[in-house]
């Protein structure tokens, strides 16, 4: 079987190489000038949509411009897994219709490799490439044995995070204006943070999974969320409005039929927003703390009340999330059967069956890492599964009660403890405690860029207390100029409120920088 898998992997690499070569040759024959291509790529998504609708731009020219830029991105950062062959046909179809009626008419869109989204085509979009993911889709990295390592679009020695890493990298490079990713532990929000783009983790069931591959099928306490990723805040809003629509509900009966809630997005009521700069599990770096502080000040300038908030029992919650996701204790051996584990998941795969022993040995030196390793060992009895269900229900209520006690509408906090990590950073340095909490709660939220790492951020003191923090600290030098996001998290089914706060925060930050 290993030989068969190896041949399949080689076949996939060869197919990609042929597709890339063929597209490059085809684009050389395109009548699109370099000047026109650059003009198209300079348009934001609102301008692009307007030009496509008034027919001053052709969908086929827009497609060619983004295909060209995507090929450039591929050569630099290795983010594409496949070219979608029907893209040309879809673009020409957009140009042939007598009237523009679809909300995403002619807009090229990239897809995380595990997504095939039929409804996007029905909405008028032109899916044109699929993007790279980590082995198993269960890692905040972007490397696998088939297509290799994807690099960060801002610094080549850094990764783009994962698992929607190829998607974020391509958008961050400018090779796509809009994309779709998935999030089960931070897989949209963390790559958006590392690459300086916008990403929305939706409430589960509000955006259908379609033909999405799910790495964890056996448990349903923490499920995969699907969401848009974009160069701009307007891109997230446009995609969400299109996907939260009756037209999409009719295509996928599993989607909750809740259309875009304009009363939440357009609301004028001043909000009460909680914030925290660190979760005290993995201490946030100075740049990530400063980003939260900047967001706090900007929201206060908009008239909102922003108060300090401490999530209840956050260590218990994060360990509970880890135990749920790895509840059978042998997840990696099920996902990696006939190939070698990549370096990011090497420990997780090869330590299965020994984690309790390793946890005991580590405990005297690093209590936090010991507890995480122990949680990764999963459950031994059926009763343990029932206990996880009860604990999750209890924590969901406890967290909601804590927000209601302070009359909070939303929360802002770091996306991760660190800015974009070095590619060579081991997996333990990528622990997503800040994002994973909200997958446990099924809270939707936005990851959005706030600032960039400064010299002062790099020089500021960062004390490492655990293995994870030690690995985070090693990625601080050389990080000047990297993007820094925050996440805006809101209660279940209030996705549009997160988008409203994003838009207000975005406009205030641009006003100050402008």
CB 66 within 8 A of CB 41: yes
Q: Is 110 annotated in some ligand binding site?
A: no
Q: How far apart are CA 437 and CA 261, in angstroms?
A: 25
Is 204 annotated among the ligand-binding residues? Answer: no
Q: Which of 452, 458, 453, 436 shows the shortest CA–CA distance to 281?
A: 436
Closest CA to 91 of 111, 69, 109: 109
Q: Is 187 annotated for ligand binding?
A: yes
Task: Give dist(CA 277, CA 250) in Å, integer.
Answer: 42
Tracing tokens 């698992």 back to the chain, one arrives at: 163
* Spatial distance between the Cα atoms of 322 and 314, rounded to a whole number of angstroms: 12
What's the CA gap between 321 and 432, in Å, rounded?
A: 11
Neighbours of 456 (CB within 10 A): 11
Closest to 246 measured CA to CA, from 103, 116, 98: 103
- The response to whether 336 counts as a known ligand-binding position is no
Catalytic one of 112, 155, 355, 392 = 112
Torsion, Cα of 69, 73, 74, 79 (10° steps): -120
Of the candidates 403, 427, 179, which has an alpha carbon nearest to the alpha carbon of residue 309?
A: 403
Confirm whether 187 is a catalytic residue.
yes
Nearest to 439 by CA among 120, 112, 140: 140
Residues with Cβ < 8 Å from 213, sequence gap 6 or more?
114, 137
Out of 163, 342, 433, 479, which one is annotated catalytic?
Answer: 163
Burial of 380 (C-beta count, 10 Å sphere; 0-12/13-18/19+): exposed
Ligand-binding annotation for 303, yes or no, is no
DSSP of 488-507: EE--TT-HHHHHHHHHHHHH
Identified catalytic residue from 187, 327, 433, 479: 187
Q: Is 163 a catalytic residue?
A: yes
* Long-range contacts of residues 263-269, Cβ cutoff 8 Å, at least 24 apart: 264/494, 264/496, 264/497, 264/500, 265/237, 265/496, 265/497, 265/499, 265/500, 266/500, 267/497, 267/500
Find out whether 227 is annotated in a ligand binding site. Answer: no
Neighbour-count burial of 262, counting CB atoms closer than 10 A to its CB (0-12 exposed, 13-18 middle, 19+ buried): exposed
Rg of the Cα atoms in the chain: 22
Binding site, annotated residues: 137, 163, 184-187
Q: Which residues are catalytic?
A: 112, 163, 187
Binding site, annotated residues for substrate: 137, 163, 184-187
């Amino acid at each position: 079987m290993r030989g068969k898998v190896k041949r399949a992997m080689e076949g996939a690499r060869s197919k990609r190489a042929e597709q890339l070569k063929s597209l490059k040759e085809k684009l050389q024959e395109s009548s699109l000038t370099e000047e026109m291509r650059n003009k198209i790529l300079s348009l934001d998504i609102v301008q692009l949509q307007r030009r496509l609708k008034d027919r001053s731009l052709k969908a086929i020219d827009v497609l060619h411009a983004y295909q060209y830029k995507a090929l450039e991105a591929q050569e630099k950062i290795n983010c594409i897994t496949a070219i979608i062959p029907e893209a040309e046909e879809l673009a020409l179809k957009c140009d042939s219709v007598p009237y523009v009626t679809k909300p995403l008419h002619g807009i090229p869109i990239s897809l995380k490799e595990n997504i095939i989204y039929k409804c996007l085509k029905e909405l008028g979009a032109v899916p044109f490439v699929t993007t790279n993911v980590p082995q198993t889709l269960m890692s905040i990295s972007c490397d696998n044995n088939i297509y290799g390592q994807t690099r960060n679009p801002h610094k080549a020695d850094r990764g783009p995070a994962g698992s929607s890493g190829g998607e974020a990298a391509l958008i961050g490079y400018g090779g796509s204006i809009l994309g779709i990713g998935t999030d089960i532990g931070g897989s949209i929000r963390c790559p958006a943070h590392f690459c300086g783009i916008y990403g929305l983790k939706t409430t589960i069931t509000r955006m259908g999974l379609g033909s999405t591959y799910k790495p964890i099928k056996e448990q349903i306490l923490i499920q995969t969320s699907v969401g848009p990723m974009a160069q701009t805040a307007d891109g997230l809003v446009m995609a969400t409005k299109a996907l939260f629509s009756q037209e999409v509900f009719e295509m996928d009966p599993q989607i909750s039929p809740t259309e875009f809630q304009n009363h939440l997005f357009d609301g004028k009521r001043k909000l009460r927003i909680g914030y925290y700069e660190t979760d005290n599990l993995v201490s946030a770096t100075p740049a990530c703390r400063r980003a939260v502080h900047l967001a706090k000040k900007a929201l206060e300038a908009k008239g909102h009340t922003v108060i300090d908030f401490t999530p209840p029992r956050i260590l218990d919650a994060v360990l509970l999330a880890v135990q749920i996701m790895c509840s059978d204790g042998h997840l990696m051996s099920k996902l990696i059967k006939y190939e070698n584990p990549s370096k990011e998941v090497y420990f997780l795969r090869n330590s299965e069956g020994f984690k309790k022993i390793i946890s005991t040995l580590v405990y005297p030196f690093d209590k936090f890492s010991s507890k995480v390793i122990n949680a990764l060992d999963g459950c031994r009895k059926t009763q343990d599964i029932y206990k996880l269900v009860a604990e999750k229900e209890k924590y969901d209520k406890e967290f909601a009660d804590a927000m209601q006690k302070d009359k909070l509408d939303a929360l802002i906090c770091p996306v991760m403890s660190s800015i974009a990590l070095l590619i060579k950073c081991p997996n333990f340095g990528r622990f997503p405690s800040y994002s994973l909490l909200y997958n446990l709660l099924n809270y939707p939220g936005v990851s959005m860029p706030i600032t960039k790492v400064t010299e002062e951020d790099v020089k500021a003191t960062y004390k490492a207390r655990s293995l994870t923090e030690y690995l985070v600290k090693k990625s601080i030098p050389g990080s000047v100029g990297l993007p820094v996001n925050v996440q805006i998290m809101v209660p279940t089914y209030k996705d549009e409120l997160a988008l409203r706060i994003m838009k207000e925060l975005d406009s205030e930050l641009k006003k100050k920088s402008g």
